[in-house]
Amino acid sequence: MLTFPDKKEITTEEIQKALDFSSEQVIRNLDIFTDSFQKAYSENGFYQPIPNNYWTTGFWTGEIWLAYEHTGDNRLKDAGERQIDSFLERINKKIEVDHHDMGFLYSPSCVAGYKLIGSKKGREAAIKAADQLITRFHPVGEFIQAWGPMDAPENYRLIIDCLLNLPLLYWAFEETGEEKYKEIADKHIHTALANVIREDYSTWHTFFFDMKTGAPDHGATCQGYRDGSAWARGQAWGVYGTALAYKYTHRDSYLPIFKNVCEYFLTHLPEDMVPYWDLEFTDGSNEPRDSSSASIAACGMLEMAKYLEKEDAVHYTRIAKQIMKSVYENYAVKDEKQSNGLVLHSTYSNHSPYNTCNHYGVDECNSWGDYFYMEALTRLIKDWRLYW
């Protein structure tokens, strides 16, 4: 296993300082972002408000809950509850919910609010979101379709990111006792892990199937540099997604998958342990970073450390602390005049000669980068009851 003997680990004092500043930053933002949400990415370092109509809005509410856990400040609790009202309205009115991102939306917002303060509205909204999510399950291919109309062959595909949407289904199963949620999640994980991971343990972003037979067809790396490369965030979703898959299924075959997907991520890190937006790139490339991938992968390693033998658990915890040291020192916002976000130098969607992506949020903060930064730090200072 790859180790980084010359890298320092983040200290408890630094974690405390980072969470103090992050929580203060979240509180400063409440004036604007209580009845609105942060846009997916900042522009010149500053987020603009949007209504609750995009796949990313749950991360901002998740930051509010993490800041509430850190401070106990009731302004945060009140804001979190107001945002849950918005999520309940969104699922009741079915506003922009015809896609698979129900977990990204409803786990850090509504499941979190239910777990932390017993929000009944949060529970109701999250179960409705789980019901919405299972409408996207294809019984022939045995996967949840990411986006697009369900009857279109060109959309008959899953994406690696979806592994983070499945904890919502396991939570709904635990809450209601209804097996359908767990059965669909189990099947999706099986199909996803059997297909999105390449022989060298790099990952496809997205994988297509034959609509008639359900047979695997081909992979594509939609948000990465090119089809054959490893999109950094896709690989990070793979690290965290496999850890969560193991948490909920305890299938032994997922352990080596986690280790190998993680190893691929780690062997492709640049000197400061924060990846460029595609793992094809490294130091000297002049390409933008995706700092969010670093925090996402660290969260996955810290989750998996709970289930591993001591030596492996110590190994992954150490690497997570080394990564977070770099994110904190080199990427985190330290002055509110510089940005109203938490972590700079992330990349949402970058155009390349080989992809069809728009140039959105390149070298900016993004909402999930901020959220997973706080989650990783929170995991490092307490026995955190996860929202996923």
- Residue 224 DSSP one-character state: S
Q: Which x/- pattern over 297-316 shows residues binding ligand GLY (rule: CB under 6 A)? A: --------------------
Cβ of residue 233: shortest distance to ligand GLY, in angstroms?
5
Where are the strands (E) in 139-253, listed by range?
143-144, 157-159, 206-209, 216-220
Facing residues of 50 across strands? 37
Three-class SS state of 360 = strand
Cβ of residue 215: shortest distance to ligand GLY, in angstroms?
25
Residues 85-104 within binding reach of ligand GLY (CB under 6 A): none
Cβ of residue 358: shortest distance to ligand GLY, in angstroms?
12
115 touches ligand GLY by CB under 6 A: no
Cβ of residue 191: shortest distance to ligand GLY, in angstroms?
18
The per-residue b/e assignment along 273-284, b for 16 or more CB within 10 angstroms, e otherwise, is bbbbbbbbbeee
Residues 6+ apart with CB under 8 A from 376: 295, 298, 299, 302, 320, 324, 327
Cβ of residue 133: shortest distance to ligand GLY, in angstroms?
14
Residues 343-372 within binding reach of ligand GLY (CB under 6 A): 348
| Residue choice 157, 233, 268, 325 for contact with ligand GLY (CB under 6 A) | 233
171 with 182: CB under 8 angstroms?
A: no
Q: Which residues are catalytic?
A: 101, 161
| Residue choice 14, 69, 142, 161 for contact with ligand GLY (CB under 6 A) | 161
289 with 346: CB under 8 angstroms?
A: yes
Where are the strands (E) in 191-316, listed by range?
206-209, 216-220
CB nearer ligand GLY, residue 116 or residue 357:
357
Q: Which x/- pattern over 167-206 shows residues binding ligand GLY (rule: CB under 6 A)? A: ----------------------------------------
Angle at CA 321, nearest 5°, toward 316 and 322? 95
Site residue total, ligand GLY (CB under 6 A): 4
Q: Contact positions toward ligand GLY, by CB under 6 A?
A: 161, 223, 233, 348
